Amino acid sequence: MPADIAQAIDDAARTIRGSHYVVALVGAGLSAESGIPTFRGPEGLWTKHGEPDLRDYDRFQEDPAKWWEMRISRASQFPELVEALNTAIPNEGHFALKDMEDEGVLRHIITQNIDNLHQIAGSRAITEIHGNRTKLRCIECSSRWPMDEFPMDELPPHCPECGGIVKGDTVMFGEPIPRDALNECIEQTRQCDCMLLVGTSAVVYPAAGFPMEVKQMGGTLIEVNPNETPLTQYVDVVLRAPAGEALPRVVERIRGDSA
């Protein structure tokens, strides 16, 4: 392990231990080592194949039945992403975040990932800002259901609570972040005095704004990412390594310090 990474791991562990309320802000990079490609970053799908259609949500609203038919027929702009999502399992980085929660040093995860891998790894305090691919959601009242428990006897399906149209829980391009998830993020950020930025390029709002708020309130930022991001310049501890390698070592150090 290079000396600067060993030093950063020590610094990260000490900073986390010395903070009152640590929140992790997680992006697609955490799941890269589970074989799920990211959109951005050097190996990202958009970097390789170009940007996607940003009118997704408009199209859904124009014709929800057609959107559902396409979804059921499994048409996708990124088949390699869907295939990877279907087979992925959590990696050491997911388990390290779970361990940090068990140790009482990580209070909450705000994740931009939709892959359900935090839950499979056993993390509990999670806000999914872009939804969860294994769930459905009513666009009117935001009720959510596991996909395999929802009766699909009409397209589009309707909410049993309010009659609103039901869509996949995953937030589409052009779709607002569900209010309840956004409020939870705002509340978590307000309490946070140390934000752990894991595998996120932090350019997508509103998530990109949370670290800046922590910083403005005098908190600290730790970045775990093999690549530089627009936030790097504001970060207090930079761990320039893949999350699946770096995070377990941070947990080791945290446990060592408390032994």
Point out which residues bind Zn ion (CB under 5 A): 138, 140-141, 143, 159, 161-162, 164
Task: Give 16 or 166: the residue with its C-beta nearer to Zn ion.
Answer: 166
158 is catalytic: no
Smallest separation, CB 183 to ligand NAD (Å): 18
Smallest separation, CB 164 to Zn ion (Å): 4
Q: Which residues bind ligand NAD (CB under 6 A)?
A: 27-29, 31-33, 36, 38-41, 44, 112-115, 130, 199-201, 203-204, 224-227, 229, 242-243
Task: Give 199 or 219: the residue with its C-beta nearer to ligand NAD.
Answer: 199
Question: Would you say the C-alpha torsion 91, 92, 95, 96 has a positive or negative sign?
Answer: negative
CB atoms within 10 A of CB 33: 18
In the complex, residue closest to ligand NAD by CB: 29
Q: How far apart are the first and last CA of the chain?
A: 23
Task: Give 42 or 104: the residue with its C-beta nearer to ligand NAD.
Answer: 42
Given Zn ion, ligand NAD, none, residue 140, with its beta carbon under 5 to 8 Å by kind, binds Zn ion
Task: Give 142 or 227: the residue with its C-beta nearer to Zn ion.
Answer: 142
* Tokens of residue 54, six digits: 């940003």
Given ligand NAD, Zn ion, none, residue 130, with its beta carbon under 5 to 8 Å by kind, binds ligand NAD
**Among the options 20, 108, 130, 158, which is catalytic?**
130
Q: What whole-number distance in Å separates Cα of residue 84 and Cα of residue 69?
A: 22
Smallest separation, CB 217 to ligand NAD (Å): 23
Given Zn ion, ligand NAD, none, residue 44, with its beta carbon under 5 to 8 Å by kind, binds ligand NAD
Return the C-alpha torsion angle 191, 197, 202, 207, nearest 10.
Answer: -30
**Angle 119-120-126 from CA coordinates, rounded to 5°:** 10
Smallest separation, CB 20 to ligand NAD (Å): 25
CB atoms within 10 A of CB 63: 12
Distances from the Cα of 5 to the Cα of 112, 193, 241, angstroms:
26, 23, 8
**What 3-state class would DSSP assign to 22?**
strand
Instruction: Please check whether residue 171 is in contact with residue 130, taking contact to mean a CB–CB distance below 8 angstroms.
Output: yes
Smallest separation, CB 140 to ligand NAD (Å): 23
- Which residues are catalytic, by number? 130
